[in-house]
Amino acid sequence: MKVRLEFRGGAELLVNGVTQHTLDLDDNNNKWTVARLLTWIRDNLIQERPELFLQGESVRPGILVLINDTDWELLGELDYQLVENDNVLFISTLHGG
Amino acid sequence: MPIQCSTGCHKNAVLKRPKTGDALCKDCFFWVFEEEVHHTITAAKLFTPDDYVAIAASGGKDSTVLAYIMKLLNDRYNYGLKLVLLSVDEGITGYRDDSLETVKRNEQQYSIPLKIVSYDELYGWTMDRIVEQIGLKNNCTFCGVFRRQALDRGATLLKVDKIVTGHNADDIAETVIMNILRGDIARLQRCTAIVTASEGTIPRSKPFKYTYEKEIVMYAYFKKLDYFSTECIYSPNAYRGYARAFLKDLEKIRSTSIIDVIHSGECFSVRDGVKLPTQGICEQCGHVSSQPVCKACVLLEGLNKGKPRLGLGKTSKIREHLKRNDENLEGVVASDADTHKINIPKTINIKQLDF
């Protein structure tokens, strides 16, 4: 299953400054929820200081998540089930303005 | 199933508003966001027709959205304002020089003229050189103190009537918490004011006082506004960061917390008879100061005399010692600073990373 990830607003600094990532997730056995995706990102993409991205099971407060340009708060947050070609965007609000 | 817009416009919602919990579509969100800022501006009577207004622009999200909104509302509601972008160049290679490129693009995108004032021309020191002298521990004190005055000086040069800054609701709530933690009652009283003005200074206002950071970022994203978002290379762990993390945790539990904290800050009153520092004028440079000589002049004197730690302790103590014994100053100030384990920059009330 193809999923696109995007990091902006300073969140890209957590993943080596790379804003766009295309993933090919193996979905034979288990469904991919956002919760599972976050753990995957922590284990596979985050270079250092994972606490700047995750706090407990969710993203650190202050990082906004949009799935296909819609606020994840309208989509069930961690429980949202990813489908083919979903675009998941993380925007940090914690950087200077 | 997509959720529909709370306004009943039959379009799909794209975000949940933190302030109200409403689900809004893109168009209704834009409208509500713009109208709320317009309401803030008119309710507080921030401007009068023909005002010449400087927008403090750092190239970051808040000031970029502010510049866009000021232009939009000025056109939509005929405020009759003449606008100018005012940027401060602190002289931080790899941070400010990049963000100034963003401001230069904003100048073109919004057709608002731009004026840049630099620490180098105002004080003879860039932040890069100050950090060489002082190291990474107290540098934010210098930057914050100098920036506040730099904006005033830039505004004076331009002869503007007013300054607007991009401080949002989250910033103000953070400042309330910081001032409570520091026990700084004088600033606690001032920091929630939508307009700050004292004798002889150009009034500053905050049109985003009631605007949540989340909405500013969402607005910038959906409008595809061009902003710069790298952390200042010299302040990865400034004191404000703790207040910010705490507030974000509170917001997660209850999203109205931010407005609630601002409201609490507004409601604090000081008992009669408590003596508060009065604001006067610096005898050296003429800027507003609660001391005979302002913090910027003390810091600058330290830098120029090769004693950069001057001014990092208590200002009044330093002035005393300065009068009594100029020669022993270094030792006195160092021991004074050492007794403060956590060196909290008392003078910084405004945001450290941006303005």
* CB proximity A95 to B under 8 Å: yes
Query: So what's the pLDDT on residue B260?
Result: 94
B117-154 in b/e form (b: 16+ CB < 10 A) is bbbeebbebbbbebbeebeeebbbbbbbbbbbbbbbbb
In chain B, what's the furthest Cα-to-Cα distance?
75
Residue type, B42: T
Q: Please say if the pLDDT value at position B45 is more than 90.
A: yes
For residue A72, give the chain B residue with the closest CA.
B15
Which of B321 and B198 is assigned the larger pLDDT? B198
Most confident of A23-32, A42-51, B36-45: B36-45
| Known binding residues of B | 56-58, 62, 88, 166, 171
Which of B121-125, B163-167, B242-246, B346-350 comes out lowest in average pLDDT? B346-350
Best residue of A54, A73, A88 to probe chain B, by most B CBs closer than 10 Å = A73
Query: So what's the pLDDT on residue B255?
Result: 84
Query: So what's the pLDDT on residue B323?
Result: 61
Which of A25-39, A73-87, B103-117, B298-312 comes out lowest in average pLDDT? B298-312
pLDDT band at B353 (very low <50, low <70, confident <90, very high): very low
ipTM of the modeled complex: 0.94
- How much is the average pLDDT of B181-203? 84
Q: Which residues contact B178 (CB under 8 A, 6 or more apart)?
A: B239, B240, B243
User: Which domains does chain A show, CATH number per domain?
Assistant: 2-92 (3.10.20.30)
pLDDT band at B338 (very low <50, low <70, confident <90, very high): very low
What is the rounded distance in angstroms from the CA atom of residue B259 to the CA atom of residue B160?
A: 31
Under a CB-based contact definition with an 8 Å cutoff, are residues B191 and B179 in contact?
yes
Which residue blocks in B197-328 are alpha helix, DSSP H? Answer: 213-222, 240-253, 257-267, 295-304, 315-324
Query: So what's the pLDDT on residue A96?
Result: 56
- Count the neighbouring beta carbons within 10 Å of the beta carbon of residue B17: 21
Name the residue among B166, B249, B251 with its Cβ closest to that of A97.
B166
What radius of gyration, in Å, describes the C-alpha atoms of chain B?
21
Q: How many CA atoms lie within 13 A of B165 on its CB side?
A: 25
Query: So what's the pLDDT on residue B141?
Result: 82
DSSP run (H or E) holding A71: strand A70-71
- On average, the pLDDT of chain B sits at 84
Q: Please say if the pLDDT value at position B257 is more than 60.
A: yes
Q: Which two tokens stand for residue B139?
A: 């540098």
Cα first-last separation, chain B: 41
pLDDT band at B275 (very low <50, low <70, confident <90, very high): confident
- How much is the average pLDDT of B179-188? 86
For residue A73, give the chain B residue with the closest CA.
B16
- How much is the average pLDDT of B2-25? 93
What is the rounded distance in angstroms from the CA atom of residue B29 to the CA atom of residue B219?
A: 8
Q: Please say if the pLDDT value at position B22 is more than 60.
A: yes
User: Which domains does chain B show, CATH number per domain?
Assistant: 15-164+197-230 (3.40.50.620), 280-339 (no CATH)
| Known binding residues of B for ATP | 56-58, 62, 88, 166, 171
Q: What is the pLDDT of residues B279-293, one digit of tens each?
A: 788 888 888 788 888
